[in-house]
Amino acid sequence: MDFVRKKLIVLTGPTAVGKTKYAIAMAKQFETEIVSCDSRQFYKEMSIGTAVPSLEELAAVKHHLIHHKSVVDYYNVSMFEQDALKILNVLFKTKDVVVMTGGSGLYIDVIANGIAELPDADLELREQLKLECEEKGLPFMVQKLKLLDEEYFNTVDLSNRNRVLRGLEVCLQTGQKFSELRNNMKVKRAFEIQKICLMRDRDVLYDRINQRVDSMIQLGLLDEARSLLPMRDFQSLNTVGYKELFDFFDGNVTLEKAIENIKTNSRRYAKRQITWFKRDLSYEYCFLNDDLLIR
């Protein structure tokens, strides 16, 4: 009997490009299921601000790893790798193809390449960096990271204090770039991986982002963010769409300015995502034009 190699099709792209629609269409085509690799959609309290698929979309195709955690739970990329591989092992017993979709590049990379064997934390260095950040501010640490590892600087969420400091910590501890250490680790999976990145013209993508934010506000993002105020210090809520509204609740900006900031930061996030994907030459790019797929 001929052995048919199993395939994981990764469908990704920047925020608001249209991943959900095409992932569902692809899953239906192959009569399979979807595994999410969107790190913002893991948390059950966050729906509107993370653009979780609608109830109709979730019913159309079975999805995994959406709303399986609480914002108060500790969850990291290593735990995601373990969870996703367990699900894939089960699905590949009956499916030849599985679709994975989401825009979190790090989470895609860990399934494709595994986790780099980074050194154990230097607790003294970590504390020094935390103190320096408190004294000089995150923007100072961001510029320090840029000097040590511009590739990581160009892809990391620069508002995420923990990720910025971790990059600095590894660079200073090893004398090597954090990005190079991560990229050098490769594992061989028991399945084939095809990576597809959806793209749109920049102006079209930015317009879709702006429209999505307006739609989120209409759907009740303000109330969703307000309900999460007591949990705002959890790392899962240090993300676009929520932190800007927390700033509004604190009285630092007007609601109009907060919404404008969500749009601006979402566009910046999309730009960082595209930079991340372009560094990986294994992606096949598909350009969308009026919802038509152009390879």
Q: Which of 16, 192, 34 is nearest to 99 (CA)?
A: 34
Average the pLDDT over 71-89 and give the result. 94
**Domain 123-183 is found in CATH 1.10.20.140:** yes
pLDDT at 181: 77
Q: Helices marked H in the chain — which ranges?
A: 19-30, 55-60, 77-91, 105-113, 123-136, 138-148, 150-155, 161-174, 178-183, 202-219, 221-227, 243-249, 255-278
The pLDDT value recorded for residue 3 is 39
Domain ranges (residues) in the chain: 7-115+185-294, 123-183
Alpha-carbon span 252 to 265, nearest angstrom: 17
CA dihedral 13, 17, 23, 24 (to 10 degrees): 170
Mean confidence (pLDDT) of the chain:
92
According to the CATH classification, is domain 7-115+185-294 in 3.40.50.300?
A: yes
Greater confidence (115 vs 44) lies with 44
pLDDT tens per residue across span 122-173: 778 888 899 999 999 999 999 999 999 998 898 888 888 888 998 998 898 8
Give pLDDT, residue 201. Answer: 96
**Is 123-183 the same fold as 7-115+185-294?**
no
What is the average per-residue pLDDT within 264-277?
Answer: 95
At 210, the pLDDT band (50, 70, 90 cuts) reads very high
